[in-house]
A and B are shown apart, each in its own frame.
Chain A
Amino acid sequence: MRRKRIGLPATLLILLALTGCWDRRELNDRLFELGSGVDRLGDGSIQVVGQFMIPAKSGEGGGDQRSYLVETGTGKTVSDCLLDMQLKLSRRITRGHRNNIYFGEEMAKAGIADVVDSVTRDPDSRLKSDIWIVKGGTALDFMQVSYPLENMPAIALSKIRHIIGKTTGNSLLEVMIEENVAGSGPTLPAVEIVRDEKLHKKTLQIYGRAILDRDQRLAGYYDRMESVYRLWITGETDRIPIAANARGAQGLFNTEVTRLRAKIRTTVQSGRVEIDVDLKGSGVILESLPDVDLRDPAVLRGFEADLNRRVEQDEAAVIRKAQKQFKVDVFHFGQAVERQHPDAWTRLEPHWAQAFSDAEITVHSHVKIKRIGLQGPPPNKR
């Protein structure tokens, strides 16, 4: 009896707590930010641009009205900017679904180190995000480009990267990890706004990779082929299209190389580092201009040799660009040295950026062409 007398009020009390009134989050009061942009203004303050989903519109699709809203806020720090932006918005900014953050080129040149903190400190913000650099433009420009295929233009780039076989969502984490590795430079995907004069429109296009130096300032860019050659070494892409010139037959042929492997062997001799990069993959001929029969094993071997020479030359050029121009290790060679020569690494670590620039790097490519498609020679040529 006594138990019942206590039990009933206790149950009612607990029922009261179940409503969760303190932390109720109504969907109607939320505004989902699917992409953010950060720009540096002339006076050193920053501007945050948000691309928000308009709840009622996004479901319908089509029509002239945009399904998203772009809003800006300015201030000294990101939180200042967010407050500035919130004061213009009738719904609470919710960043839990944001996967992409865009930095204007000016911001990247000034250094992104100070801007990342607010992203990784906020428990509602996702670690699995990509940071993009808008090459030659501002994040605001980028956010305003209309993109008819997606309700939210901010997510279009993730989809493109996915289609071309790249890992998505890891570049924010990469910035954090690389910053703690001596001599290593973080890289971020770069996007470009292209103006098509004939079609009278602006659209967005993936450019390649932006390279940051040790202070997380923009050091330069890799274009699309250079980027994908770099990703071959770091193991973050699953295919690479290569155009090579067939030597005997005069003419280009295109190969898509898949099942990419890269092996890095390092040797350290009296402080000098030698790095040997061994590339493997299997190719499929996509297009072959020369009028030769690929069913002839000798011809195919010739193509293979040409392809491998092309890969070795291009890859070496990509590495040399990092050594001479960026002067940061963007290939994780430092970690390879640490694994293979832990003793030497303790001596090399403090000045790895320099040691990397001076290192002698050789590239060997062993791509095998496995398939040639539906025909031997082009049937329409004599």
Chain B
Amino acid sequence: MKLTNYQLFWLLFSMETGMSVMLVIAPTFRAAHQGSPLATLLAGIAALLVTFVAIKLSLLYPEDTFVEYVPKIIGDWLGKTIVFAYLLLWTAVAGIVLREYADFVHLTLFDKTPIWVILLFMLLVIVYGVQGGIQIVGRCSEVIGPIIVFNVILFRIFSLKDLHPDRLFPLMPSGGWMPVLSGSAPAASFMSESAMVVMLIAFIGNKRKAVATGLWSVGLAAVVLLNVVMDAIMMLGNTVPAKLQYPVYSLSQYISVMEFVQNLDILLVVGMSFTVFVKLGLYLFMTSYGTARLFRVKAWSRTLPIVACLVFAVALFPRNVDESQVIFPAFWKNVAYPIFLFGIPLLLWMIGSARKGTKRSRLPKAP
């Protein structure tokens, strides 16, 4: 299994864009109101930092994945426990992402189809893609990523005439920095999912460029999110998006050019499905590959069906949209983001580079 830097770029970009564009905007506006663009900008910077740490950490052990190098850094038992916690987290988030996707499709397209059918068929497609290896998902994202960028540009052009640039100002809200900071947390927690590169760096061919690729990719995703937030504030004002379930969906319904370019929400639904495919493909791969390595199973394709079943079960678990779209993101923001996406990788990086440093100094000087 090999990934190119180009594939890594589009993988991270597609994985980040879809879900954050759909689900992050309302909570951002709820906290930051007029300061939402600023909050998104901060979130983008935070995500870049997380990505940087994650890639640097992985480059300490360039040939190993997260599951393999964590025990090397902090010892077998502690390392394996942490890895196990990560595997559980990835399974949970994959299940919830699948459910969030199905909720959206259920609302917009198939309101009579039972939700498990939507879940199952999406999952089948993803499993089919992943079982060939991560490079399959990578190649898919090379096609999907540019389509997403094309859609974003299309929306950009079509919505130009509906924008009220005056609504963008003042950039700094009267409430001060606190609302902006708390408003940046939801976006930052979604965007920081790029920390998953810890599982991907090992497969990259040219590792010297990995840092630049990762940062460019997350940077582009942040620009797209910022662009959508600015659209929302310039079209819907600073309060209405907070009250909507999917502000971007409402925006896409609002676009009407020359009376015949209308109902562009279908582009959004399709784009969303594509990005969910990439995101879940990554999570399924990481979890099943990681599980196989952790429990010393030879073929990771054996663990894939088990992980897929678990993900399916998790996706069926939430009883209503609030559990999948409010409670879980809150957990993600308050627990997963500070600890699993930022804290642990940072600690590991510091410990890891310290160990490498001492090891190197202990080595006898070359004659």
Contact = CB atoms under 8 A, between A and B. Distances in A.
B113 A126 contact: no
Interface residues of B, number: 31
A345 interface: yes
Given A23-B112, A180-B237, A339 B117 contact: no
Interface string B260-290: 0001000000000000000000000000000
B250 interface: yes
B112 A173 contact: no
Contacts of B237: 176-177, 180-181
Contacts, number: 62
A180 B240 contact: yes
Contacts of B239: 177, 180-181
B240 A176 contact: yes
Contact of B256 (A128, A335, A338): A128
Contact of A177 (B162, B240, B250): B240
B1 interface: no
Nearest to A22: B113
B272 to A, nearest CB: 14
B170 A339 contact: yes
B263 A96 contact: yes
A376 interface: no
Contacts of B170: 338-339, 342
A173 B251 CA distance: 11
Interface stretch (B8-16, B103-111, B296-304, B308-316): B103-111
A23 B117 CA distance: 12
A127 B112 contact: no
A37 B205 CA distance: 64
Nearest to A346: B174
A343 interface: yes
A312 B170 CA distance: 29
A123 interface: yes
A58 to B, nearest CB: 17
Contacts of A335: 166-167
A20 B112 CA distance: 10
B256 A169 contact: yes
Given A22-B112, A173-B254, A339 B236 contact: no
- 9 smallest CB-CB distances across A and B, nearest first, come from A180-B239, A177-B237, A22-B113, A23-B110, A22-B112, A127-B254, A342-B174, A128-B254, A339-B169
21 contacts: A14-B121, A17-B117, A22-B117, A23-B109, A23-B112, A23-B113, A127-B253, A127-B254, A128-B253, A128-B254, A169-B254, A173-B235, A173-B236, A173-B240, A177-B240, A180-B238, A180-B239, A181-B237, A181-B239, A342-B172, A343-B174
